[in-house]
Amino acid sequence: MSGFGYQSKIAILVFFNAICLFSGRADAVDLTQASKAVVKLYVTHQSWNMKQPWTKGGIQMSTCSAFYITEGILTNAHCITDATYMQMEVSGHADKIDVEVAAVNHQVDLAIVKPKDSNFKPDIRPIELGGLPNVREKVVTIGYPAGGRQVSYTEGVVSRIDIMNYAHSNIASLMVQTDAAINPGNSGGPVFSDKSGTCLGVATQKLRGGEAIGYFVPIPVVKQFLQDLVDGHVDGIPALGITIQTLENPAIRQSLDLNDEQTGVRVVKISSAGSTFGKLAVDDVLLEIDGHQIFNDGRVLFRDNMKIDLRYYVTTRQLGDDLELRISRKGRVQPLVVHLTPYPIYLIPRMPQYDQKPRYYEIGGIIFQAVEPRYLMGWGRHWPTKIPSDIRSYYSEFLGEHDYKELVIVSGIYRASANKGYSGFVENSRVVSINGIPIKQLADVSKAFASATGNFHQIELENGARIVLDKAKVDEEEAAIRQRYNIN
């Protein structure tokens, strides 16, 4: 894993042409002082084995970059995910320093680490944070990519600013794209304006299959994260919790009683966990957000002559903020204020539940789990197209569309006499009921088994399969099954 950060899906951002960056250029800013605030992280990771959720996988090593700011040492969340041991190398210090995680928001791939020794206070000037760059602005990254042990300066040009998916979380937020070569190890390093020398963001990822397309987390997202930390707790970024339809066809606008001057997007679905639940209705049209007109393609004006996804005015706000909307409901225009609430909004969470031990329940060698992305990633790099159809059909479902809170499945059968003959047809289908009790979340599974009164446990699955277990045989074999497969 050394090089591309934690997990193969993450790549590290670094800009091209490091050697000649400053030579012969009178207009290039001197970032020598800033480089002293950049450190190298050495991280040992051990993630959970989702096929055997009571065990961990192999130990992996990676290196990343990080940098001192006023609030601590800033880096990427993917650099420190499932970390078991971390050290940092500081310019001018002979020994590596043990560090630990102070705060993390996996949604936007940001984290703060700190020295374990609170007395370690190097003479380092923290890097000051700037603002959002301009398109075509020249930028410089400082960090520790592979290929040498010295700090590296590399450059690129901002090519796009938009709402895009973060590879680490599968959640969309503001991100900056740059034309850039990719080297391992630079993830978590600062990105500077080549002209002003102000910090513009944190290097984070690349586009797979793209030619020199890299990304960094911009300062508005960093500042949202730091403001979120003021109360000592990470709440994350908010979400409206709706699915929308663009209204570029005149006929559909007319069917929604919009006049020729009105533009917006149609509300298609609403999550019961989202900010707009109980306030918006299907077929409402969002006309404005935070005082900004919403165009028929779902974007809003951004700066002078650009457009950006309407979620820009959501993800850069804090949880608990009030957001003003203007909607059209059956042709009647009205204002609406929503109280911003957090993710998750989907039945199957978009973001892997990093750093958390998987939740499961075992009985008679049968493993029950609630579906989350770490489990789905077991189908490989292109897992969205490879996961079983019984699971895929639920992937875009909002919370509240059904009367259950999690998608609980049989994830595996560990063979024993008690479960003879069931392997192969019962895995990865939703558990509908156990012993006549509906299963709405994983916590219901243990209660359902404990409630059995007859001689058998009966499990009904959505694909029509039924599992019937002899209670006495399960009780007789349970200890031996757990010992055989090291289940704890």
pLDDT in tens, 310-342: 999 999 899 999 999 999 999 999 999 999 998
Fold category of 32-230 in CATH: Thrombin, subunit H (2.40.10)
Instruction: Report the distance separating Cα 363 and Cα 419, nearest Å.
Output: 10
| Choice between 365 and 155, residue whose per-residue pLDDT is larger | 365
Instruction: Report the distance separating Cα 363 and Cα 386, nearest Å.
Output: 28
Instruction: Report the distance separating Cα 200 and Cα 142, nearest Å.
Output: 12
How are strands ordered across the β-sheet holding 466-470? 437-438, 431-434, 456-461, 466-470
Residue from 82, 78, 107 nearest 185 by CA: 78
pLDDT for res 135: 92
* The residue type at 40: K
Instruction: Report the distance separating Cα 115 and Cα 97, nearest Å.
Output: 7
pLDDT at 12 over 60: no
| Residue 77 contacts residue 64 (beta carbons within 8 Å) | no
| Choice between 151 and 105, residue whose per-residue pLDDT is larger | 105
Instruction: Report the distance separating Cα 141 and Cα 214, nearest Å.
Output: 12
| Residue 462 contacts residue 430 (beta carbons within 8 Å) | yes
Q: What CATH number labels 238-342?
A: 2.30.42.10
Residue from 6, 154, 175, 138 nearest 78 by CA: 6
Biggest alpha carbon–alpha carbon distance for the chain: 85
Strands (E) located in 167-264: 171-179, 190-193, 199-206, 213-218, 238-239, 242-246
H or E segment and range at residue 218: strand 213-218
pLDDT at 245 over 90: yes
Nearest 5°: the CA angle 92, 95, 97 is: 100
pLDDT at 147 over 80: no
For the segment 273-284, the average pLDDT, to the nearest whole number, is 95
CATH 2.30.42.10 intervals, the chain: 238-342
In whole numbers, what is the pLDDT of the chain averaged over residues? 90
pTM: 0.89
CATH 3.20.190.20 intervals, the chain: 360-484
264-267's contacts with Cβ under 8 Å and 24+ in sequence apart are 264/288, 264/294, 264/295, 264/296, 264/327, 264/328, 265/294, 265/296, 265/298, 265/310, 267/242, 267/243
Instruction: Report the distance separating Cα 390 and Cα 415, nearest Å.
Output: 23
For the segment 49-78, the average pLDDT, to the nearest whole number, is 96
| CA dihedral sign, ordered 332, 333, 337, 342 | positive
Instruction: Report the distance separating Cα 308 and Cα 132, nearest Å.
Output: 14
Q: Determine which of 154-168, 279-293, 426-440 has the lowest per-residue pLDDT on average.
A: 154-168
pLDDT for res 27: 58
How far the first Cα of the chain sits from its last, in Å, is 29
pLDDT for res 87: 98
- Give the number of other Cβ atoms within 10 Å of residue 93's Cβ: 12
Query: CATH says 360-484 is which class?
Result: alpha beta
| Residue 124 contacts residue 73 (beta carbons within 8 Å) | no
| Residue 417 contacts residue 477 (beta carbons within 8 Å) | yes
pLDDT for res 62: 93
Q: Determine which of 87-101, 139-153, 423-437 has the lowest per-residue pLDDT on average.
A: 139-153
Nearest 5°: the CA angle 223, 191, 108 is: 45
Instruction: Report the distance separating Cα 84 and Cα 46, nearest Å.
Output: 7
SS3 assignment, position 142: strand
How many Cα atoms sit within 13 Å of 194 on the Cβ side? Answer: 21
